[in-house]
């Protein structure tokens, strides 16, 4: 009996290990790319779980490999390039794909800073996703001096620290930059280590958000119902002229701060200039378009007519024009989209994004 008692748990343990190993290998293949990525990343899930970014990138890489793509266009940026506040069928690449010479993958994410865009390039490098064809956006607020407590990277600071520690340390040495990513106590450190280094190796846990999404989609499909609309929570893509409260929103302190007219620091001591130059260096010899996305001048008239704001825009525009070369292009989209096609001071209606898509395709003419 003793040998039998000993062997049974041992066999069970072996079978469990085999089962877990099989799940580890096969779990990602259970889902189609559309579960992870449909014209853009899934903000509703990734905003609360940073591991979802990596899962999406891996899904994009599998899609690229399965289609044997040698060339494709990557779009990086903030909420404008992401297509806020509309759904994933109303963003720039959704309107570009039928006319584009290249397949397009939009890896933009709301709230991304210029440092996030650089860190995303490093994450792409690590997975073998090419940036030979790249389009990314910047805007006025990208270069406004931030308060010391505002992060230089909103999403990928830990990735930057891991993938390029020297760059991370240099960032911390810049004026008014603090390390706000370091846990304050032992419990926080332990929790962060568990979430970052232990649980991600257990694939079913790592994919829990998308398992839930897949089940929801399956239930709707079996019921012959359309998939849920993925417009951002609270999003309203109607024109701003149809909204009653939009004029009050521009009085929000965060919006006012985004139009701060204090003279820009256009030197490398500005972390956003530093990371912009890192992107330019990374993209040397690669076909890259930098896009300065525009503003609703009617709604933001008080801000954009300030002489100091105008001077900042001129300085930024001149800076970007000066760094253009054969493979690095720049386009200024200020006043290129009618104000009537904005949904607030910054974002566009579906028709606005359709116009932006047409203009970006013409600008990306390599």
Same structural domain, 146 and 255: yes
Asked if the bond preceding 127 is cis, omega within 30° of 0, the reply is no
Domain tally, the chain = 2
Same structural domain, 19 and 81: no
Cα–Cα dist 90/351, whole Å: 8
The predicted pLDDT at position 11 comes to 74
211 contact partners, CB below 8 Å, separation of at least 6 = 204
The predicted pLDDT at position 338 comes to 98
Beta bridge mates, 348 = 342
Same structural domain, 11 and 43: no
Across 223-262, b (16+ Cβ under 10 Å) vs e yields eeeeeeebbbeebbbebbeeeeebeeebeeeebeebbbbe
330 contact partners, CB below 8 Å, separation of at least 6 = 289, 290, 291, 292, 320, 321, 323, 324
**Chain centre to alpha carbon of residue 59:** 15
Same structural domain, 334 and 227: yes
Same structural domain, 56 and 26: no
Same structural domain, 94 and 236: yes
The predicted pLDDT at position 6 comes to 47
What is the mean pLDDT for each group of 10 consecutive residues in the chain (366 residues)?
56 71 67 89 90 92 96 98 96 95 97 97 98 98 84 93 96 84 62 61 68 81 85 89 90 93 96 97 97 97 97 96 93 97 97 97 88
Same structural domain, 171 and 254: yes
Q: Print the domain residue range for 2.
A: 1-30
Same structural domain, 11 and 128: no
Same structural domain, 337 and 357: yes
Cα–Cα dist 333/346, whole Å: 12
- Give the global pTM: 0.88
Same structural domain, 130 and 213: yes
Same structural domain, 20 and 47: no
């Amino acid at each position: 009996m003793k040998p039998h008692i000993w062997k049974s748990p041992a066999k069970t343990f072996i079978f469990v290990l085999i089962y877990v190993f099989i799940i580890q290998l096969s779990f990602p293949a259970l889902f189609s790319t559309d579960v992870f990525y449909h014209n853009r990343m899934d903000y509703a899930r990734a905003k609360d779980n940073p591991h979802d970014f990596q899962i999406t990138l891996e899904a994009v890489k599998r899609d690229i490999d399965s289609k044997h793509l040698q060339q494709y266009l990557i779009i990086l940026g903030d909420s404008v390039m992401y297509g806020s506040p509309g759904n994933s069928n109303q963003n720039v690449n959704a309107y570009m794909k039928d006319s584009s010479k290249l397949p397009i993958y939009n890896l933009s994410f709301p709230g991304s800073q210029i440092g996030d865009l650089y860190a995303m390039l490093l994450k792409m490098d690590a997975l073998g996703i090419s940036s030979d064809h790249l389009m990314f956006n910047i805007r006025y607020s990208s270069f406004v001096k931030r308060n010391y407590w505002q992060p230089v990277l909103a999403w990928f600071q830990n990735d930057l620290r891991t993938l390029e520690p020297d760059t991370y340390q240099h960032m911390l040495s810049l004026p008014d930059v603090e390390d706000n990513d370091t846990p304050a106590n032992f419990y926080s450190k332990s929790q962060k280590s568990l979430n970052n280094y232990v649980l991600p190796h257990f694939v079913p846990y790592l994919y829990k958000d998308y398992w839930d999404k897949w089940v929801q989609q399956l239930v709707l499909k079996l019921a012959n119902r359309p998939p849920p609309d993925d417009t951002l929570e609270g999003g309203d893509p109607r024109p701003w002229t149809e909204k009653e409260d939009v004029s009050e929103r521009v009085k929000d302190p965060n919006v006012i701060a985004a139009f701060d007219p204090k003279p820009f620091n256009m030197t490398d001591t500005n972390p956003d200039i530093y990371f912009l130059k890192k992107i330019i260096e990374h993209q040397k010899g690669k076909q890259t378009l930098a896009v300065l996305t525009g503003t609703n001048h009617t709604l933001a008239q008080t801000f954009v007519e300030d002489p100091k704001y105008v001077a900042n825009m001129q300085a930024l525009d001149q800076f970007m024009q000066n760094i253009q070369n054969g493979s690095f292009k720049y386009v200024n989209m200020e006043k290129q989209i009618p104000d009537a096609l904005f949904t607030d001071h910054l974002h566009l209606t579906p028709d606005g994004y359709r116009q932006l898509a047409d203009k970006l395709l013409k600008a990306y003419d390599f």
